[in-house]
Amino acid sequence: MRDTMLNYFKEVFGDTDGVKVFFAPGRVNLIGEHTDYNGGHVFPCALTIGTYAAVRLRKDRKLRFHSMNFTEKGIIDSSLDDLVYKKEDDWANYPKGVLWALGEHSYNVDKGFDIVYFGNIPNGSGLSSSASIEVLTGFIAKQLCGLDIDLIKISLVSQYAENKFNGVNCGIMDQFAIAMGKQDHAIFLDTSNLNYEYAPLELGDAKLVIACSNKKRGLGDSKYNERRSECEEALARLQTVVKIETLGDLSEEEFEQHKDVIKDEVLTKRAKHAVYENQRTIHAVEALKANDITKFGLLMNDSHISLQHDYEVTGIELDTLVESAWKQEGVIGARMTGAGFGGCTVNIVKNDAIDAFIDNVGKEYEEKIGYKADFYVVEIGDGPKEL
């Protein structure tokens, strides 16, 4: 892939003197959805697909961005002295936002660069292509400008960029999972305090299969921010009767004991999902440690049902993929992953059933929805690196 990126760079910028090539993964979350901004636990892993960049430091402060995924946009010009959100800069607002956020956190990026990006994550799939670009850009700035910044801080700066520059109130999960990825492990992360541990993801005779609905969704203009504010309102009402910082502080029993104070059916459902999903995630990791992959799969299924009925973020495309998956031989668990309203499902499927799974679910999906889904059998990989 390194040679491919150098060739791309040469096509766009003329030569490859002094060019370095970097990679950051995408991520999939196995369980713990919409808990990361509610102070709960998540369980994501980094993938071996992700975002590549070929980059050369400049002597001036100019920035020139190009993406092989959006060649029609050409080269997008900017400068370290003009890091403001511009609608016409489209995807380049993600790397620009990180460079801006580094400055806001007193990290001095004093030289511009020419950079070509290429992602092999399906666009709009919910496998975190935007967070992958963000963490990659932060890692490149660290390497090329000698910044004294660790990977956790890069993830926090990237989240800050997405929140404050691009206006999406995402939690920390995506950026953290990408920055801190470890091959063959998922990350059990407590988003309230960033305590984390690596859990070996030993699936035995099964693999992770991602099904991409091909229904595009944009986080910023979806109902993501609305769900977040609904949870904040439910939390504020609960805090009048119980001493908690986040919804993640509550057990299921405590929630049931105090939920009447919310006094709104929709807000109660949103809070219920956040509380129960957090506990499901804790139980799922315990099951994995006990080598009980069957229980892990059942908790994945329960997670989807909660996202469908209590959080209402699935939609016909994701529900069709998951409900079809549940009917297939060799499926241990299936659920939507990511923000919802399109994007992907994650499935644990026995090796000898994968081909039939892809055929059967793909056929049922196309018949019902009218266009194809794409399927990816994925491996679990490391965080960002220079190639």
Q: Report yes or no: 49 and 377 within 8 Å, Cβ to Cβ.
A: no
Q: Is there a contact between 66 and 115 (Cβ–Cβ < 8 Å)?
A: yes
* CA–CA dist 243, 250 (Å, integer): 10
24 near 384, Cβ under 8 Å?
yes
Collapsing DSSP to helix, strand or coil, 289 comes out as helix
* Annotation marks residue 174 as catalytic: yes
293/285 Cα distance (integer angstroms)? 10
CB atoms within 10 A of CB 200: 11
d(CA 336, CA 156): 25
Contacts of residue 381, defined as CB under 8 A and 6 or more positions apart, other chains included, come to 25, 46, 47, 48, 50, 181, 183
Three-class SS of residue 153?
Answer: helix
* C-alpha distance from residue 163 to each of 32, 36, 220, 338 (Å): 20, 14, 10, 17
Q: From the candidates 36, 110, 150, 174, which is the catalytic residue?
A: 174
How far apart CA 89 and CA 220 sit, in angstroms, is 16
Q: Which two tokens stand for residue 20?
A: 């370095």
Q: Identify each DSSP E strand in 152-256 by its residue range.
A: 185-190, 195-200, 206-212
Q: Which residues are catalytic?
A: 174
